[in-house]
Structure 1
Amino acid sequence: MRQLLGSCEINDIKCKYHFNGNKFFLIPIEEKEIRKLTQILYRDEIKYIELPSSHDKEICDYVYFSGYSHLTDGFSLDVDKYFEYYSNDEVKSIVITSDALNFYVNPAEYFYDLKVEGNYKELDLLYQSKDIYEFNFNFEGVNIISKFMIGDILYRGIASDMKLNSKLELSFDPTNDREFIIRLQNAVKKCFKFAIYNDEIEFNNIELISNSKKRSKCGRIILRQHKGNVNYKLISFKSNYYYLKDYLGSFFELIANDNNLYSAHLKNTSTEYFNSTEKRLTNIFAAFETEYKKLPEKVRACDTTSVEPFRQQVLSTLSGIQTNNHEEKQFLNDLISRTKGLGKEYGARKKILNAISHVEDCISSSLKTYQIDEKARNKLSQEICKLRNKIVHNNYEGVIDDQRGINLMEWITYAMLLKRVGIPSDKIEYILGRVFQSNLLGFK
């Protein structure tokens, strides 16, 4: 059990501490040590603080923090994660619980479907859990065996939340590398953000399972408490789990290992979707640009065959120009560099049209539902680029009247990602229907 107050040492500085919510208050016992501790925190010399366990001298808990502020006699630290250990056993798996996960993989929907299909069997969900789906993915060269589970309501005894939770267990080679576990849970959280299409996903609890003969918990990660405004019931309505689950391994592997994914556009409520703001348009455009760069080169590349001889002629002329000083030389080098790349990349409007062509087989139903024919897509792509330029140059005020252009940008951006995962086009159409309500395929 987490010790709410006690003593610890930081680089031989003896301190007293106590917790209050997400705050960790640290007070040096000797007042003269405050300055020394200030330097340690200012130089960012420590990522975590070891807290001796109250029940076993050989065990330590670990507090990870992100920022700090000065107090009269000490410091207030912002707690991110608290590793609470029950033993020194290596960790072979972690079990994640999340409100968002409960509605993404909905226990009620799962058992209802079993009942309708005539496959339901009585199960003691208080003390047992049922494995419902398993998939594997690779993260940082480590094979992660993943499975969704439902049940085991009383897994924490009288401290249990009494909910029928969906849980995700991630198993890997036994380790005591906390940094790896942190990176893994961050990567998996990112995967759920893109699966659920919301940037505010948080995990409630993470149990640490030991590498012992008898399955047992060796600790848990207590996470920072967040007060968000996510409507998780809406997530259930929009869940694409049943259409994505056969490709979850590929989906998780790509998302978890891609360190260049833009996510600020993901928060998608009904209000935002039908009444997008200037800021949201800018975020969606940034996400589109990021994903477009990952299309195959043959899709992105312009055909410059007819101008290449002239380009080489221009480059040859530029290379023969003599410069008199550093400024002229730099100018000439920039000119040569730009000439080499000129015309090889499409402009923003052409990129949008090109991306639509690339994923058209994934969005045809959505285009039909929103009455976006070829004439409309040409008009919308032109308008959305003009609007984006006005916003970027602070020359736009007012509401965005026609939301279809923004909707279209979201569909093609998400479709490009899903296609990169390797999901078939017909499945992508169903997924888009669930996430954006852009078609009715996923609701029949």
Structure 2
Amino acid sequence: MLQVQDIRNNQDHYLKALAKRGIDAKQTFKDVLEADENRRATQAKLDDTLAESNILSKEIGNLFKSGKASEATALKGKTAGLKEASKVFGDTLNETVEKLKQLLYTIPNIPHALVPAGTNEDDNEETFREGDIPVLDDGAMPHWELAKKYDIIDFELGVKITGAGFPVYKGKGARLQRALISYFLDKNTTAGYTEYQVPHLVNEASGFGTGQLPDKEGQMYHVGVDDLYLIPTAEVPVTNMFRGDLLQESDLPVLCTGYTPCFRREAGSYGAHVRGLNRLHQFDKVEIVRIEHPDNSHKALDGMVAHITDILRELELPFRILRLCGGDLGFTATLTYDFEVFSTAQDRWLEISSVSNFETFQANRLKLRFKDEDGKNKLVHTLNGSSLALPRVLAGILENYQTPEGIKIPKVLVPYCGFDMID
């Protein structure tokens, strides 16, 4: 969430930056600043009324002590009026603060200067590409056919149990899933991230804290009786562990990783491009989250990109990195890099990770601050990334490593799997 003072001080810059997203925020900014002026004016009236009431209360007490009961009683009528006025001002202030907050919730984060202008994924910039795309034998199959051939993923059984988008992993397919999770966590903890196991449901405050609410409310599964949400990513519970905290500058950076299942309704997702593992309602993902000093967050983002690059090199998968344009940038992010692995059998790129810097956008919602060396409380910067999302990584492995004899296992995963071939 943006800060009002930043909107006031940087209005022209913010308007130009939001234009990269295709957003004209001029009227919204006008409404925000007007609501803030009303808030400040109402707060001043409330403060003055309360101050006058306190002065009168002391005066009344002194009059009673001096035996001037009639004068004290006369003043009590005035204090009653002031109390009623303060209640009215207080109610008005609460309404104004809520209106201001709801306005701020509608404004996405300000794109970083590196973010290219554009309207959709076609305008994203490729910043890096590595790995040779393998030439497959005749008869090569997409992963959903390989899964059936080798009996490692049962999509129909998932439909029977729950519905479409909830696959059942079997035998070596399940073991490969577990191997990927363990490998990703080991890579992250070796790099200095502390591992956490977190709840898979969160409350409304957590959803608002990281920006999933109200922006993505329709994409989250809601447990109505308990007013809880199934998590769309570990980013939500992991980052919210620090909601409301005041850290010391010496505490920074904070590095966290965690594995969770993720749940997304993915409403309106149909067609061949979402077949098999390409888009699911439940999937596994390992996440990394960083809480950084503002001066270091973009260097940290580069470090996260390098970390995920190293993982994909070890998996020996062809991949590329994209810098997202304004129109494809997530609501809460200021700068995002997407990793995509090439699916040889499908002849297209599949997104397998997003790495984002949110700067102070989430921290302001979370009220997550640190005390600097001068004793001032400042907002931290938050970052997160998939490290990695399993379904499309698994799809890439199955398709790119297929041979006439079976599916080879990447060398780095063999110790985790206990086998080197699915046949």
Q: TM-score, length-normalised on structure 1?
A: 0.25
State the structure with bigger RCO (CA 8 A, min sep 6), 1 or 2: 2
